[in-house]
Structure 1
Amino acid sequence: MLQIDRLPAEVQRPTYDRSKLKTRMVHIGFGAFHRAHQAMCSDKLAEEHGSDWGYCEVNLNSGALIQALREQQLLYTLTEMADASLHTRVIGVITEALHGKSDGIEAVINAMSQPDVAIVSITVTEKGYCHQPASGNLNPDHPDILHDLQNPQTPRSVPGLILAAIRRRQAQGLPPFSVMSCDNMPENGHVTRNVITQLAKRQEPALADYIEQHVTFPSTMVDRIVPAMTDAAFNALNARLGTEDPVAVEAEPFFQWVIEDNFVNGRPAWEKAGAELVSDVLPYEEMKLRMLNGSHSFLAYLGFLAGYEHISDCVADPHFRAAARSLMIDEQAPTLRTQGVDLHAYADSLIARYENRAIKHRTGQIATDGTQKLPQRMLDSLRWHLQRDSQCELLLLGVAGWMRYVGGKDEQGQPIEIRDPMKARLAECVASSEEGEARVRALLALREVFGDDLAQNATVVARLTHWYQQLLSQGARATVHHCLNRG
């Protein structure tokens, strides 16, 4: 448990009066990224500008983190790490913490129904939205959505939970809140609006009308590399701090948060703490999702297959480094609508961030949930190139790398633990198909991921099969080298 009085003097502690914080925001998904990103920004705002916007943190599944947070007075440490320096601060902007299972869903709905709450924000990863990644619409066959349609008062899904709170606030005559997604999806506010409104239409059409008229869904773009904490990381941190902190998180120094300024009931002045408030987030989202996240996924699948444990290991390989930059500049940048941004400089900055060996960002961590990530990170760009008959071999290799990865065995024949909400479907595709073109076709048939068009495109099938076969016969390192030379 974190003991503030045992921390070294150089650790930054809150100097603001925490008792003056109000629960104005409820955040669903108290994961590492939120702790290192949005909570940090709000804490900085309280520290430097006297903001009273506090968070009620909610986890729906894992209760251990919430319990640990409670035991240490709702405080935790964030350490920013670079190769040559580190800085630790105590985050104190949390006012409440709830666990959906042990405290009950009713307690969570009540928390969102507090009169002061003006924002409900979300970081639950793409799979938490119960949507179809290829279309951005609600997945009506999702087990949690099927449950929520029958049991709207005791929801299981994130859309159902937020909808229940909107319904209660309306019934109590309370003002609406804004719902702000901070997950890596293009137009994440639009996706959030889709799933909640479409669920409402199936439950109570009049409520859907109310949402469309009164609730806002600002989109955001978030950027910070936040690796999952490991036992080794905790041990090193505890030794450095002189006290244990099971809620601790580490991150790179870089921070970016671009927010659509579309809040129905007020917001913190996050721009004073480094965020950017804009009218249109989409160009920023696309730039980050395709250049950063797309290259991250490329390095994760192919790097994992090549035996590289961390992203920094991948970019230490000159061929992987060159491939990642070429993917960004030659295949992703042309698809973007961003104006006034030096994309070559942006790509160079990303490579420099990937080189940070103090951040142990594991390829296996980034490789999770590929069915939810591929559409926005690679497939949208792939379609752009197909429409223009332009070259995109690195994108195709990245998709082939995912197909090889979900086969479940690495290049040494060792099993790969596949973590994906469509894990069972992936296993069926693998079990029912032979290696090569049959495997490619089986995976392309996943309409929720690839839509209907890509499986019918002979060029896509042929080039994916080519790179898949190369990965089988040559291995990831040699294949990345060949792809750079369009082998």
Structure 2
Amino acid sequence: MTRFHSLQNLPATVAKPGYDRDAAGIGIVHIGLGAFMRAHLAVYTDDALAAAGGDWRITAIGLRSRDAIDQLNDQNGLYTLLVRDAETAGRVIGSIADAIHAPSDPEAVLAALAAPSTRIVSITITEKGYGIDPATGGLDVNVPAIAADLASDLSAPQSAVGLIVAGLAQRRAEGTGPFTALSCDNLPENGHILKRLVLDFARRRDGDLADWIEANASFPATMVDRITPPQTEKTLADARALVGADDRAAIETEPFSQWVIEDDFCAGRPAWEKGGAVMVTDVRAYERMKLVMLNGTHSMLAYAGHVAGHKFVRETMADPDLKRLIDRHMRTAATTLDAVPGIDLDQHREALLARFANPTIDHPTYQIAMDGTQKMPTRIFDATLAAIDKGTDTQSFAFATAAWMAYVKGAIDGAYAIRDPREAELLSVARSAASPEALLNALFALPGFVPDALKSHDVFRKTVLLRLRVMLEDGMRAAITREAAAI
């Protein structure tokens, strides 16, 4: 079948970009060309271009695999977005102009970053891509890509932070002016974290450059939300049927989408609000709500669900006992929150439960379970401390913590890979722990992982241990049943 590469002859049932792609220049460089970016930022940008125009198309940068790069370039940047609900709707996104594989063409990447037309550099690289030292919150100079960039002349940066610093350094030298660095990852105060890491990196090389970046560039915080499962053969088959051509870059997602953005851009921005984005002065209440209600619940159900044999999130919602635990976790998480402007938390919880149960979305629990040492502190441990401070029950957070530990222990026989930046360390601990108590103590002792206030909280430790014993001795299924019966 012919490869999808043109907007010509598309069926009337498929929506296409509502603007002249050739007339819209490039204003955004995006680092991290994954499915989420294509289901979120690229879609909001597509809508903004259709509503308000402007030179805001995107050059996408891939740091590792070049598969997605080649797929998009072979298709003139076009791809199908499938929105899964009772019926599947198809839409072609045109906001990506081109894509560059950084390891293969570093000169082109730096040229894109330094181009006067580039006003925003956005990133979706997941938590582990930032190079955060878990002990200090600063730059981890032992991360191979960070270490290589610090030791180099930055002519071919390997890390996202290195790329941003290299681009800003060249713009300063050429008098081009700064760009806005925009994090779109699930990190609390992600813009502030990115700024801290960029300045840390820059100061290790050039103090004057760091001062210039701090004074001129901007790093807005954002809260992003849209469930985007990995591409499957069904994704490709459904896209092929909709557009009448072979679309290897097609992705699928859910109907819901949310983007809350701190409106702090030093060089302008697209009219993202025209696509439904919410522009605010402070994102923190929204991002905390998402981290503890959606992301935290996702982590809990992913560890418990995966170990119990549930492949997809929708399967956990079809398990009556686990569904009760999912609902309990969201309710408990909501009690740790202050008021969120414009949000009714009970209605938000009901909407989340409906999203999780969407029968057309194959969101793997194993995908959510990866990178636990990066996710547990912000999704579970911070919420636990907030619950303790507010006098709220912590049993659901204890269950989530125990489920993560059981997930780690379950990997020692090779049944699955943990897929965590500290995987070797976790497996070593799990293999040497002869009892549930030994496992808990060793995992709690991991450097830069569990907050000191939680490590020393005897009641919480005992609550976790009680559940971990059941999971390891009687199995996750028994633990889920027993936990649900106690609610």
Do Structure 1 and Structure 2 share a fold, with TM-score over 0.5?
Answer: yes
Alpha-carbon distance between aligned partners in 2 of 1:21 and 1:342, rounded to the nearest angstrom:
39
SS of match in other structure, 1:102: coil
**Greater displacement, 138-147 / 86-95:** 138-147
Alpha-carbon distance between aligned partners in 2 of 1:340 and 1:248, rounded to the nearest angstrom:
34
Give yes or no for contact 2:336–2:392 (8 Å, CA) kept in 1.
Answer: no
**Greater displacement, 352-361 / 335-344:** 335-344
Q: What is the deviation of 1:305?
A: 1.1
Moved over 4 A (4+): 3-7
* Alignment match of 1:275 (pick from 271, 274, 277): 277
Question: Residue 215 and residue 236 in structure 1: after superposition, are their counterparts in 2 closer, same or farther (change >3 A)?
Answer: same
**Greater displacement, 183-192 / 85-94:** 85-94
Q: What is the deviation of 1:211?
A: 1.4
Alpha-carbon distance between aligned partners in 2 of 1:156 and 1:451, rounded to the nearest angstrom:
31
Alpha-carbon distance between aligned partners in 2 of 1:135 and 1:11, rounded to the nearest angstrom:
49
Scaled by the length of structure 2, what TM-score is found? 0.95
Give ranges in structure 2 of 5+ residues lacking alignment: none
CA deviations over 1:279-301 (Å, ceiling 9, x no partner): 00000000011101111111111
Scaled by the length of structure 1, what TM-score is found? 0.95
Task: Map 1:40-439 to 2 at 5 A.
Answer: 40-82=43-85, 84-103=86-105, 105-133=106-134, 136-153=137-154, 154-409=156-411, 415-439=415-439
Give yes or no for contact 2:444–2:455 (8 Å, CA) kept in 1.
Answer: yes
Q: Do residues 12 (structure 1) and 5 (structure 2) align?
A: no
Using the aligned pairs only, state the percent identity. 41
SS of match in other structure, 1:132: coil
* Alignment match of 1:21 (pick from 8, 12, 24): 24
Give yes or no for contact 1:437–1:461 (8 Å, CA) kept in 2.
Answer: no
Q: Which residue of 2 aligns with 1:478?
A: 478
Task: Map 1:444-463 to 2 at 5 A.
Answer: 444-463=444-463
Q: How many residues align?
A: 483
CA deviations over 1:211-265 (Å, ceiling 9, x no partner): 1111110000011111011234323443454322111110101111100000001
Give yes or no for contact 1:405–1:416 (8 Å, CA) kept in 2.
Answer: no
**Greater displacement, 40-49 / 238-247:** 238-247
Give me the CA root mean square deviation: 1.9
Instruction: Return the letter of the residue paired with 1:70.
Output: N
**Greater displacement, 333-342 / 190-199:** 333-342
Q: What is the deviation of 1:388?
A: 4.5
Give yes or no for contact 1:287–1:333 (8 Å, CA) kept in 2.
Answer: no
Q: What is the deviation of 1:134?
A: 6.4
CA deviations over 1:180-236 (Å, ceiling 9, x no partner): 000001100011011111111212111111111111100000111110112343234
Give yes or no for contact 2:29–2:120 (8 Å, CA) kept in 1.
Answer: yes
Instruction: Return the letter of the residue paired with 2:144.
Output: P
Alpha-carbon distance between aligned partners in 2 of 1:38 and 1:469, rounded to the nearest angstrom:
43
Give yes or no for contact 1:148–1:160 (8 Å, CA) kept in 2.
Answer: yes
Instruction: Return the letter of the residue paired with 1:473.
Output: E
Alpha-carbon distance between aligned partners in 1 of 2:272 and 2:341, rounded to the nearest angstrom:
24
Question: Residue 340 and residue 53 in structure 1: after superposition, are their counterparts in 2 closer, same or farther (change >3 A)?
Answer: closer
CA deviations over 1:366-410 (Å, ceiling 9, x no partner): 111111111111110111223355421111111111111122449
Q: What is the deviation of 1:27?
A: 0.3
Give yes or no for contact 1:394–1:483 (8 Å, CA) kept in 2.
Answer: no
